A and B are shown apart, each in its own frame.
Chain A
């Protein structure tokens, strides 16, 4: 191609030299292509680097976190024959467990463990292990007459030793019991059902999940309607003057305010107004709603702006009132965009820790909250709390909790992308 150009340019006796057929132009053209290639290479490099970082992050997280979903257990056959255990007929699980405790279940379990694991081994059974047996009995009372083999959690120290770390004294015992086939790593379904605890073998993520759920509900209920209405008013009704300009700048600034400032605001305002609600999801939700609302307003305004004016004209021309124009046409067309912005704002709120630290949601909460005013903690806060603990068990549990949080964030972002693609209108 370039050769042909050169040739025509220097054809014997007939040198056609126009500005776009000169050697200088050709040189510039080459430079332009080189520029394009460099840019492409840079772009590819950037994408590749982010992919590498992402894969590295997810890889380490999953590698570490998989251990967090497991725990070390002893397989101990327990026989209840002749023990005279009776299961209380009640809906209150706690009462039923206490009843079994008073009938000597913990002693039965440790006796059975001693028989199987020996005295040293039985000492490494987690002190709360009998509760798992109790829960199994309550779930299926028929085993009271026979018995069965139960997977009993070990102490945190033993678990660490089993993984080849921690106290050197326990490691030979761990090897010995492993050789006898009494100890193994098992998937810990309870991790998804329990709340926080002081023992890494007994912690669970459910309490924090429920706390996050209640907090997000409050955030959504406050931030979505207020944000959407504010966006609608500013776009569709507000006159363009100095006041609306000030409001617009303020909202944009609000979106850029560091989240910890919102925490201080929540502390100063909400906790002063409702001092009894420290650590409650309702206050956390209100604080996060302050943070999420500007995001919803900004994305909402952009989505509303993207609705072509011709649609509004068409509706006005058949006699729709301004409110009908907004609710019949503008809002339905802008909704996918508004929802996308809302979900992204909510995902940010779900991952937020700093403002919640200040309003006391870093409490140790060992039972999942049962309402908006109970003490609660949230997923990222649980991660923060666990990462403070030094034992090996908590390190793994932290990674597992991060995986749970990331799964939720990815699901939310995926939903946002799906909504955007699915309901995006073309004109």
Chain B
């Protein structure tokens, strides 16, 4: 139940920034007959961190996964509406899913490095896309990705060790490095810190802030503090609806909707 008021207010707020990187218009997602996402419209901008918040089961992760068509792996999932990446509908029949996912990378809730060496974890994406010619170029990509993910100094002497031998926080940064190794335009993060301790979480948040300058980042989080810390824009989902979307400072200090206010003040969720 998106009020037209919310939407128009948001659109005006966004207009000063030019065309958005991704734009979802009237998107609904169904699992079989069950509607998980109801008519959501939202803009994702480059050089912004957009946070999706909301209580468990509100559909924020589902919506995130529609942005790079990861829901395609679930046969019962069906998406209606239009999602555009640079003005191109990603659900149109001509869209190449492989290319889409190379442009819209993803980091998952639980760190999921491949059970291969650290080097291979990073090199896998560039290799299947043929982004590097020769070993030295690949080495450079691996080094650059690990540096951007803030992991280089910790692992540079043991690139041949298994990625699964790292600590949880390091594994998650490895996954981020893996995602940025293919130079995506958008990075989707699905509760990237929920399996990590506070120190590792702080590192990831720092990293997200640094990466913002280069990519459009969308982060799903359970923690409102985290959303307030890392994001510039926040979307509040509830029961499959986008209740409110706007500048993070506005959402947290001056929410327009009662439900948003109730949630961020801890009445439910």
Complex CA distance for A425 and B73, rounded to whole angstroms? 24
Q: Does A320 reach chain B (CB closer than 8 Å)?
A: yes
Q: Does B170 reach chain A (CB closer than 8 Å)?
A: no
Q: Does A318 reach chain B (CB closer than 8 Å)?
A: yes
Q: Does A315 reach chain B (CB closer than 8 Å)?
A: yes
Stretch in contact with the other chain, from B175-183, B207-215, B256-264: B175-183
| Contacts between the two chains (Cβ within 8 Å), count | 67
Stretch in contact with the other chain, from B20-28, B77-85, B112-120: B112-120
B108 & A240 in contact (Cβ 8 Å cutoff)? no
Stretch in contact with the other chain, from A61-69, A109-117, A306-314: A306-314
B115 & A313 in contact (Cβ 8 Å cutoff)? no
Q: Does A324 reach chain B (CB closer than 8 Å)?
A: yes
The A interface is mostly helix, strand or loop, or mixed, namely: helix
Q: Does A3 reach chain B (CB closer than 8 Å)?
A: no
Contact with B along A219-254 (1 / 0, CB 8 A): 000000000000000000001100000000000000
A314 & B70 in contact (Cβ 8 Å cutoff)? no
Complex CA distance for A27 and B98, rounded to whole angstroms? 65
A324 & B108 in contact (Cβ 8 Å cutoff)? no
Find residues 7-27 in chain A having any chain B CB closer than 8 Å to their own CB.
Answer: none
Given contact pairs A313-B70, A427-B164, A319 touches B108 in the complex (Cβ within 8 A): no
A427 & B99 in contact (Cβ 8 Å cutoff)? no
Point out the residue from A321, A333, A426 that lies within 8 Å of B98, measured CB to CB. A321
Complex CA distance for A165 and B108, rounded to whole angstroms? 78
Nearest Cβ on chain B to A242's Cβ, whole angstroms? 14
Point out the residue from B110, B113, B164, B182 that lies within 8 Å of A319, measured CB to CB. B182
Find residues 28-83 in chain B having any chain A CB closer than 8 Å to their own CB.
Answer: 68, 70, 73, 75
Counting from the closest, the 5 A-B pairs by CB-CB distance are A318-B125, A319-B102, A310-B112, A317-B106, A319-B101
17 A/B residue pairs, CB under 8 Å, sorted by A: A239-B75, A313-B70, A313-B106, A313-B108, A313-B112, A314-B178, A317-B107, A317-B108, A318-B101, A318-B182, A319-B98, A319-B102, A319-B125, A324-B128, A328-B124, A329-B114, A425-B115
13 more contacts with CB within 8 A, not counting A310-B108, A317-B179, A320-B124, are A240-B75, A313-B70, A313-B108, A317-B101, A318-B178, A318-B182, A319-B100, A319-B129, A324-B128, A329-B114, A425-B115, A426-B164, A427-B164
